[in-house]
A and B are shown apart, each in its own frame.
Chain A
Amino acid sequence: MSLAVACGWTLLRSFIVAMLAVPVCWKLEAVLDSLPRAGRRTVWFLLAAAFLAPELLIGYAYSNFQLSLVRYPALNESLYGFLVLLKVIPVGVAVARFSPAPPVSSEALHIHRLSGGGASFSSLIRGPARIHLCTASVVFLLSFQEFEMASFFATASWTVWLYDQQVGGLMLSESLRFAIMPVVTEALVLVPLVLLATQGNSLAADPEKERRPQSRTVIFCLLTYLPVAIIALIAIPFAIMGSGILDGLRILLTDTLQRNGFLISVATAAGFAVPAAILSHSLAGLLLNYCVLRRESWKSRAWIAAACLPGLFGSLSISLALVALFQIGLLNPLYDTIIPLMIGTTLFLLPRAVLLRLLLNSVTSGESSHLAAMLTDSPISEQRQVGRRLIWHERYRRQLGLLGVLYFWGYMELTLAALLAPVGMIAAPVRLYAQMHYGRNEVLSATSLLTVMIPVAAFFVVVGIIKLIHQSRS
């Protein structure tokens, strides 16, 4: 299969996924609006869980089942497309929820039509359709860049094609030449997306958005999507990997070589992911603050867009570009070091950090933080303690949660670590990916589960320690 064919299939699949996802995202977003605060929080939590479920593990869990579809490519493709659809919908919901409000409201458009104005393209773009376009674009990009599941499902995908060529030893100039076609495709979606995002109203979520009761269809949509996504993306993979985990753990713990290799790979992945997460988080904060200081001018938004652009092209494109960059001139001595991987991971995480900080800003009240800070200056010790607890809740806990999500994404990122890590450094996902192609077994399943659980557990331990330190200061 040629790259053009692989790219064409990916394009078609991503287009279909985007078309199917947009109405679902729209309905889900409407349901979120109608829910009380506690319900909304639960739904967001489940959406986040569906999106954060690692593709590597999902692909591995379904790999044996996929083998039975080897003579039924259409079914294989449908199952893969379905899983991708389930995976990207949460991001679509977030984009639909937190996109800048369009300059022209639906009421204004309606009046425009009543007064005899036609439904021109420009009026549509400036109206509520803008949010759907943004949603479709982001969902399309995520689907277009998907790699791990496509690899396990052996579906036609430009990412798998190009990755295999690159690790198969293709000359870099050739890889870059091949990358032009998918990158141009992505650019065709990204450029309008950036333009739309830089020309809307405030980047903050619309506080005036009305909460309205939803129809049964809309509620049904939510009640169908969430259980299906949780079952398909989390319950089934973890159940498959969980069977025989005790045997796997026993072998892993008694085999010194496997155990040590595994632990070193986990530490390596975490070692890259933690600084990259902190850097992207801070850079996102700087960019957003700059945007506020500049009263969200188009220039400041353009800066954000420019900084996020490399990450939006996906990890494979970033990797190839950095491999090329670090093989020339002055940068060459840094080629086989941790620097390219660190830069790559930071760039990859940056757009996600910006989106997450926007999400966080929309649910964080500056006034309550300020009031809590005032409480910490109170002469009464109980009030100071309450103030510190509130600050922890309002400020630190959420920021740490955001950092945790970024760290998890960076930790589980396979392509960057595979193509940019220096010799001798094997990150956990790369090690897993290499071993997963030999087939499923108990040890590998146990290793896969631990690969996810150890960093998550470590994160909660660190958060607990920070909380203790914070409270002991009071």
Chain B
Amino acid sequence: MPSNPNSSGREIVVVICVLLTIAAGYLMFSSGSGQDDALVVYCAHDSVFSERVLRKFEQDTGIKLKIRFDTEATKSLGLVNQLVREKDHPRCDVFWNNQVLGTMQIQEQGILLPYQGSGFDRIPDGLKDPDGHWVGFGARLRVYIVNTDKMEATEAAVAEAEKGNLSRMAIAKPLYGTTLSHFSLMWQQRGEAGMKKWHADLRKRDVQVVNGNATVKNLVADGVCDWGWTDTDDYFVAADDNKPVTMLPIRVADGKTICMPNSVAIIRGTPRLTKAQRLVDFLLSEENEIELAKSKARQIPLGPVDETQLSEDVRKLKTWAADAYDITGLSAARMECLNWLKSEYLQ
């Protein structure tokens, strides 16, 4: 093995130089550029949509943000659990969840700080915590995505199809995200025994359980599956891509739809409270709800907005959302359902 007698000395010099550079970079980054003042945001909403909103806030206010996004596969649950883990030494200032149930869970653990700002007032009761621990905004609906080349896109046709073999139906793994909320709701309605029986039957009939709602959308849009459960924002990605798809609202036992608002909350112990409050007010503002409605995700505004600025798609979703099931009482059902699902899918 050839060796240069002088090379060891040279390698040591290189190692020392690199280490010094890293240390200098770290010191500059951590103290010199004011990064410590940046507001830390944990965001479970899809980065392709939420980053634009958050960068606009940065631009408008000059407040720097450090953002941690969730992954599609573990949507929202990852950040919720991380906030629980960090309870004693919080790193996050503001939590933007893409649904409500996980936020309610961390509220019960005393992780959230109540705040009733300008945004709190404009969101109707029932879509926010009365004390302001969290507030809902910009919602999505759970929908059937149906491939129109493969089957008739009516609620009756889907109901009929769901009675038979389900190998052409796709759902996301219910351990995470809105599918978990959907299952939690069914858990509350059907009870533990009923839910387990229903789920076993679903699996027995070969339903395709895939990694996320986006994969459900892809499977149906490409005609690999005929229909599936997904969220409106995922559906619109396929629709905008001119795929042969349409959507129908998923209705639970009493005919109610399933509406999943985003939620925002301030983390207790934040050293940047004023900035955090500004971000919360920004996210809950009419201007932001309209922007979210205009985005490709077509999120449904929950507070009063100028209706003329809403597209036909969003107006249709608003009428469906008006029929929504009250999900604010689902926290306990979610925990029970999640514990059972872990035993089903992870053990």
Contact = CB atoms under 8 A, between A and B. Distances in A.
Q: Do the two shown chains form a genuine complex with each other? A: yes
Interface of A: 1-3, 64, 67-68, 70-71, 151, 154, 164-165, 167-172, 202-204, 257, 261, 275, 278-279, 282-283, 285-286, 288-293, 296, 336-339, 342, 358, 361, 364-366, 418, 423-424, 426, 431, 433-435, 437-439, 441
Contacts of B73: 151, 164, 167-168, 437
A286 B14 CA distance: 11
A3 B8 CA distance: 44
A285 B30 CA distance: 32
Query: How many residues of B sit at the interface, in one of the four size bands?
Result: 35 or more
Nearest to A202: B1
B15 A64 contact: no
Interface of B: 1-4, 7-8, 11-12, 14-15, 18-19, 21-22, 25-26, 29-30, 35, 38, 40, 46-48, 51-52, 55, 65-74, 77-82, 84-85, 91-92, 167, 170, 175-176, 208, 210-212, 214-215, 217-219, 221-222, 224-225, 234, 237, 241, 345-347
A169 B1 CA distance: 47
Given A339-B26, A437-B71, A439-B217, A282 B82 contact: no
B71 A364 contact: no
Which of A1, A289, A431 is the most central at the interface, judged by chain B CB atoms within 10 Å of its CB?
A289
B208 A70 contact: yes
Contact of B79 (A169, A336, A365): A169
Which of A172, A278, A291 is the most central at the interface, judged by chain B CB atoms within 10 Å of its CB?
A278
Contact of B66 (A64, A424, A441): A424
Contacts of A290: 8
Contacts of B70: 167
B11 A286 contact: yes
B236 to A, nearest CB: 12
A462 B225 CA distance: 49
A438 B11 contact: no
A279 B1 contact: no
A278 B12 CA distance: 11
A366 B4 contact: yes
B229 to A, nearest CB: 15
Contacts of A171: 85
Contacts of A202: 1
B3 A168 contact: no
Contact of B69 (A1, A293, A336, A434): A434
Contacts of A203: 1
B1 A261 contact: no
B81 A204 contact: no
Given A434-B69, A435-B48, A286 B345 contact: no
B91 A336 contact: yes
Contact of A68 (B7, B81, B176, B222): B222
Given A286-B12, A366-B3, 14 more contacts: A1-B345, A70-B219, A70-B224, A71-B224, A164-B73, A167-B73, A257-B51, A288-B3, A289-B3, A289-B4, A423-B40, A424-B40, A437-B72, A438-B234
Nearest to A5: B347
Nearest to B47: A434
27 contacts: A2-B346, A3-B346, A64-B222, A67-B219, A67-B224, A68-B222, A70-B208, A70-B219, A71-B167, A154-B210, A165-B346, A170-B81, A204-B2, A282-B12, A283-B11, A283-B15, A288-B1, A338-B22, A338-B29, A339-B22, A365-B2, A424-B65, A424-B66, A434-B71, A434-B72, A437-B72, A439-B214
B52 A257 contact: yes
Nearest to A291: B1
Contacts of A282: 11-12, 14-15, 18
Contacts of A172: 85
B220 to A, nearest CB: 10
Contacts of B65: 424
B215 A437 contact: yes
B253 to A, nearest CB: 30
Contacts of A292: 1, 3
B79 A435 contact: no
